[in-house]
Structure 1
Amino acid sequence: MHAFPRLSRRSLLALAATAPLGIPEAAAGTVVGGSRLARDGVQTTVTAGLPKKLTARAWLLADHDSGEVLAAYRAHRRLAPASTLKMLFADTLLGRFERTERYRVTDADLATIPSGSSLAGLRPGVTYTVEQLWQGVFLRSGNDAVHVLALMNGGVAKTVAEMRAKAADLQALDTHVVSPDGYDHTGQFSTAYDLTLFARHGLEDAGFRAYCATKAADFPAGGRRTFRIENTDRLLSGTYGVTPYQGMIGVKNGYTSHAGNTFTGAATRDGRTLLVTVLHPDSGHNAVYEETAALLDWGFGKGSSAGPVGVLADPLSEGGAKVTPHPGPQAAKPHKDSGDGWGVTAAAAVTLLTAGVYAVRRRRSKGARGTERPATTDPHP
């Protein structure tokens, strides 16, 4: 017998409507978060006012506190994540070092950073605090800062292994990490669903939340000199023609020539926090922000009455119900050679009750939040 945590009556009724009564969910091939998240087409219970010109290849909108997915499109489609993967890097390593710990960067530390990477501007011979390195990660999406932190952690290979383990704990079963910085690599992919899991988990940490919300900082340039770095999240900073979004608190943007523009954001209005992930809109550096803002506007407006079409899974380490992988509808991988046997096909994340209603543990709200641009990097991050 399993002990089923309680859902609100509203959530239970809505989820009941999404599950075929009398049909075992596992046999139906449902995925992490609920069967509707594997379907093609937009999934929502309220279509009124939903943006009609969304061009992203995948997107998802969810309530941060309850974990309810309010609307989604191809939530489990595997795509290249670009620097949004740095959220998982932060989820994995943020608590490893004291903010005041200092590290002197060497030429060797910077030798293996992929050409074309976005950089915070680390210089050999300069000593940085851990706090400054994380500012480089979050504000400038610096692959140099990521690699130095990974080396401090015992190396890139060890860090990748730990990120994979963290993704498994968060039940992000459609994410495969090859590089900690999000740079394009064969076999590296994630989904709108998984990236939203990373953001939700990260925002529970006060340090993560503070870094994400930082608009600008002074960064060491050697000696007593500093230079200014600004957050490349345009909905936060209001740069390159993007209007700052009211209530924006983070989280992470990214760009590569293969991934296109990617973004996961979070905003709070009237005490409610929404999470949104938008992956690879058709055109324009600002499209990812425009489509994010449109989804947030809907979520805070007409979408506020939407019932859940799925849920964000809880981490196994926090009592989340363990997913039993089961083949179900799966979206295309980012490129044909991306499957290397590590990634697990999305699977049933919830257990059915006898009437065909599955229950998912509601998450307790706790409390806290960078980018990248490789293979051809975004000149306007």
Structure 2
Amino acid sequence: MVTGFSYRAAMSACSLCVAGLLVLTPAAAAAGPPAGEPAPPRPPAAMPGPSLLYRSGTQVRPHRDAPEPPGLSALSWLIADASSGEVLAAHDAHRELPPASTLKTLFALTVLPVLPGGLRHTVRYDELADVGEGSSLVGVEEGHTYRVADLWRGVFLSSGNDAVHVLARLGGGWAATAARMQDKARSLGALDTHVVSPDGYDAPGQVSSAFDLAVFGRAGLRNPDFARYCATAEADFPGDGSSYPIENTNRLLTGEDGVTPYPGLIGIKNGYTSNAGNTLVAAARRDGHTLVVSVLNPQADGGLTVYEEARALLDWGFAAAGEVDPVGSLDGLRPPSRAEPPALPVAAAGPPASDDDSGWSPAAVVAGLSGLGAGAVALALRAKGGRAARG
């Protein structure tokens, strides 16, 4: 008789505890933290999967009072935090488009690490023979000896395809450089980019995207040589007998052609071809916070529109800091390597924070109920087993 009573009592206790917990949980949530203690911070919103950035149109996750992103005419654009890689907003981020000379960012990421800046090289005729007609040039001449650092200034400031051809030959050859650039893009998670001509010259099938170009720009800022070259506004380039001045073609940096320089601008690279239109990857720093933007092919009239649309995007990004949740990450498609542990899957981060600021999450309530119920059932079964054993 005692054993039978224990079994029924255990089951009743289980029911009472579950009911009590269900009653007390909302009350505990409503009570909030003890008096005098600050409320716990709201958990950050979960990072959305990479698929969100593959959607067409503008993607943004604003808080209630966040400023609206600017209306741009560019076919594709993206703005991200350069430190965390969080994408604040984007428009057709993975649309594949011709990149023009912004592809030189990937060229620099690939070749800069293998060529010492102090290396001197005398240019041969065959190294310049295949420069595309109508290419932008810095003035590299056959028979002249240049330091590698001079050639890189020709690439970043004058967007010189002649300098790119020479550096590519020094780096292993034109085709080999294109293949290495392709591998580098994949290693960074830039899956939209197809490299045909390392200098960005229009070629059938050569494409990139606003996402990929922002990835390249962000990665470049981590390389001290890349960061120094892309931020240089003016330099001297060696010529016959004497050097001559060259100026960066990024008007947001120099203020040329009536474009007001952007405060805190770091660089990175602009481009233009008749097929690609105007393209730009830029970064700016304000109050210790760095943003990177990419703008591809504005449709509004004027060759300087790309700079004004990048300006508007940067202004919005600095104003919206902390007022929007990320719509993706520049690391979202990057394969894990041995040097950096794989990131947790997006699903593991849990759902976005709800409007309930209680300390009890749905998962915690379920886990608590499950544990309590399991304990009560185990107690009941033990009691029942004891009764059967004693007959």
Q: TM-score of the superposition, structure 1-length normalised?
A: 0.76
Question: Using the alignment, how far apart are the partners of 2:172 and 2:89 within structure 1?
Answer: 40
In structure 2, the residue matched to 1:353 is 348
Aligned residues: 307
Query: 1:107 deviation in Å?
Result: 1.9
In structure 2, the residue matched to 1:258 is 275
Tell me if structure 2 keeps the 8 A contact 1:46–1:303.
no
Question: Using the alignment, how far apart are the partners of 2:142 and 2:246 within structure 1?
Answer: 18
- What is the DSSP-based 3-state SS (H/G/I as helix, E as strand, rest coil) of the residue aligned with 1:288? helix
Question: Using the alignment, how far apart are the partners of 2:43 and 2:322 within structure 1?
Answer: 17
Deviations 1:25-46 (A, max 9, x none): xxxxx6xxx2211112211122
Identity percentage over the alignment?
53
Question: Is 2:302 the counterpart of 1:284?
Answer: yes
Tell me if structure 2 keeps the 8 A contact 1:169–1:316.
no
Tell me if structure 2 keeps the 8 A contact 1:60–1:75.
yes
Report the RMSD for the aligned CA atoms in angstroms.
2.2
In structure 1, the residue matched to 2:51 is 35
Rg larger for = 2
In structure 2, the residue matched to 1:79 is 97
Change in CA separation of 1:84 and 1:315 when aligned onto 2, cut-off 3 Å: farther
Question: Using the alignment, how far apart are the partners of 2:265 and 2:340 within structure 1?
Answer: 29
Unaligned runs of 5+ in 2: 1-39, 353-391
Q: Of the candidates 46, 49, 58, which is equivalent to residue 15 of structure 1?
A: 46
Tell me if structure 2 keeps the 8 A contact 1:102–1:127.
yes
Question: Is 2:259 the counterpart of 1:242?
Answer: yes
Question: Using the alignment, how far apart are the partners of 1:351 and 1:296 within structure 2?
Answer: 27
- Structure showing greater relative contact order (alpha-carbon pairs closer than 8 Å, 6 or more residues apart): 1
Tell me if structure 2 keeps the 8 A contact 1:14–1:309.
no
- What is the DSSP-based 3-state SS (H/G/I as helix, E as strand, rest coil) of the residue aligned with 2:114? coil
- What is the DSSP-based 3-state SS (H/G/I as helix, E as strand, rest coil) of the residue aligned with 2:267? strand
Question: Is 2:177 the counterpart of 1:146?
Answer: no
Question: Using the alignment, how far apart are the partners of 1:124 and 1:300 within structure 2?
Answer: 46
Deviations 1:127-161 (A, max 9, x none): 10000000000001100000000001121011001
Q: Of the candidates 172, 194, 216, which is equivalent to residue 176 of structure 1?
A: 194
Change in CA separation of 1:70 and 1:87 when aligned onto 2, cut-off 3 Å: same
* Greater than 2 Å deviation, 4+ residue runs: 9-16, 46-53, 314-322, 349-357
Unaligned runs of 5+ in 1: 1-8, 19-29, 323-348, 358-381
In structure 2, the residue matched to 1:61 is 79
Question: Is 2:285 the counterpart of 1:268?
Answer: yes
Question: Using the alignment, how far apart are the partners of 2:335 and 2:156 within structure 1?
Answer: 23
Higher helix share: 2
- What is the DSSP-based 3-state SS (H/G/I as helix, E as strand, rest coil) of the residue aligned with 1:117? coil
Question: Using the alignment, how far apart are the partners of 1:74 and 1:107 within structure 2?
Answer: 42
Tell me if structure 1 keeps the 8 A contact 2:213–2:281.
yes
Q: TM-score of the superposition, structure 2-length normalised?
A: 0.74
